[in-house]
């Protein structure tokens, strides 16, 4: 689990919080939010249940914390990968971003997380807000930054939102609902080509 999102804690507290988040990830993503218990998380983390409650006041707060941490992990990966791979041209940068986004979001862990968020978002409004602020909004900001090399700020923001939607397209929707997608790489290649073309048109 990414430690950069953790509050100012002692080294021991940080280790325990990381263990709790790792345990929560294993439990929530395998059992779903409804079936998971704080006892399960404590056992998976190798800590006492009271330790879990000292860090997170409720199961809901723990789930929100997990979503925030996992979104930050994806955002950090995208940021570092962009820094390493960018050659400065908007077309290449957008294509790189599209592939990084697609490959990170279609991992089994992130697909399970998305399903769990959708299932609980109505009951836990904070969950949707955390997911949007730390996930979708961050990715759109990366795309908009690239597009500002060619367009004004408002146009870049609008095209960035469209770019992200076209990158994910039907293939991500199908994977999210458990539908088997043949030739996943080829499907995303077509979607990313269209997303880049539309963004720069």
On whether residue 37 sits in a domain, the answer given is yes
What CATH number corresponds to the domain at position 185?
1.10.357.10
Is 101 in the same domain as 122? yes
**The pLDDT of residue 70 is above 60:** yes
Three-class DSSP category at 150: coil
Is 83 in the same domain as 44? no
Residues 102-142 pLDDT 10s: 999 999 999 999 999 999 989 888 988 999 999 889 999 99
pLDDT of residue 4: 46
Give the CA distances from residue 1 to residues 25, 65, 170, 200, in Å, rounded to whole numbers and listed in that order: 9, 11, 30, 36
- Which residues are CB-contacts of 170 (< 8 A; sequence separation ≥ 6)? 187, 191
Maximum Cα–Cα distance across the chain:
56
């Amino acid at each position: 689990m990414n430690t950069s999102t953790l509050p100012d804690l002692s080294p021991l507290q940080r280790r325990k919080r990381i263990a709790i988040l790792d345990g929560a990830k294993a439990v929530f993503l395998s059992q779903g939010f409804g079936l998971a218990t704080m006892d399960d998380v404590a056992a998976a983390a190798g800590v006492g249940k009271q330790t879990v409650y000292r860090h997170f006041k409720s199961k809901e707060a723990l789930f929100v914390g997990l979503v925030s941490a996992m979104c930050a992990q994806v955002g950090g990966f995208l940021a570092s990968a962009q820094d390493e791979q960018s050659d400065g041209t908007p077309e290449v940068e957008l294509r790189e971003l599209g592939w990084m986004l697609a490959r990170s979001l279609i991992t089994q862990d992130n697909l399970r997380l998305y399903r769990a968020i959708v299932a609980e978002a109505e009951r836990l409004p904070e969950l949707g807000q955390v997911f949007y602020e730390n996930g979708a909004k961050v990715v759109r900001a990366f795309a908009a930054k690239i597009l500002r090399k060619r367009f004004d700020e408002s146009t870049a923001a609008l095209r960035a939102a469209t770019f992200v939607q076209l990158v994910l397209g039907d293939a991500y929707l199908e994977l999210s609902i458990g539908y088997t997608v043949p030739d996943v790489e080829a499907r995303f290649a077509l979607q990313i080509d269209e997303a880049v073309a539309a963004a720069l048109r």
